[in-house]
Amino acid sequence: MLTRLSFLLVSLALALPLLAADITGTWQGEVKTDAGSGSPTFVLKQDGETITGTYSGQLGEAKVTGTIKGDEVTFSFDAQVTVVYVGKVDASGKKMSGTVDLGGQASGTFTAEKK
């Protein structure tokens, strides 16, 4: 039978992974798609689960919007097509990786590291 302290500790341990990483900052990315590769820079600002910011790379410059829930991040921007990134932030909060879709015209993977 769990004591109150044990119950509290177990509850806290289970809740920790649900806390969102803080991804506010500048991220240097590496993207590999069917259409080629690139090294975009993202400047992101997080407010709760909401992400805003900017993209700068081969597709020009664009405003970024998205969400983060726990370690799962989704963000996108418009650059002639809607580009969507879906990934996970690692436990350190300094690296993320996942998939990228360029408006259904190309897809691939990305990694990014917080500067």
Please report, for the domain that includes residue 26, its CATH number.
Answer: 2.40.128.120
Given a cut of 60, whether residue 13 has pLDDT beyond it is no
Q: Does residue 3 sit within a domain?
A: no
Q: Does residue 96 sit within a domain?
A: yes
How many Cα atoms sit within 13 Å of 71 on the Cβ side? 14
Given a cut of 50, whether residue 71 has pLDDT beyond it is yes
Q: Does residue 29 sit within a domain?
A: yes
Please give the pLDDT value at position 21: 78
Q: Does residue 35 sit within a domain?
A: yes
Q: Average pLDDT, stretch 76-105?
A: 96
28-65 confidence digits (pLDDT tens):
999 999 989 999 999 999 999 999 999 999 999 999 99
CA–CA dist 113, 94 (Å, integer): 6
Which amino acid, residue 65?
T
Q: How many domains does the chain have?
A: 1
- Phi, psi torsion values for 82, nearest 5 degrees: -85, 120
Please give the pLDDT value at position 17: 44
Mean pLDDT computed over every residue of the chain:
89
Show the domain range for 85.
19-114
Cα angle, residue 13 at apex, residues 99 and 4 outer, rounded to 5°: 155
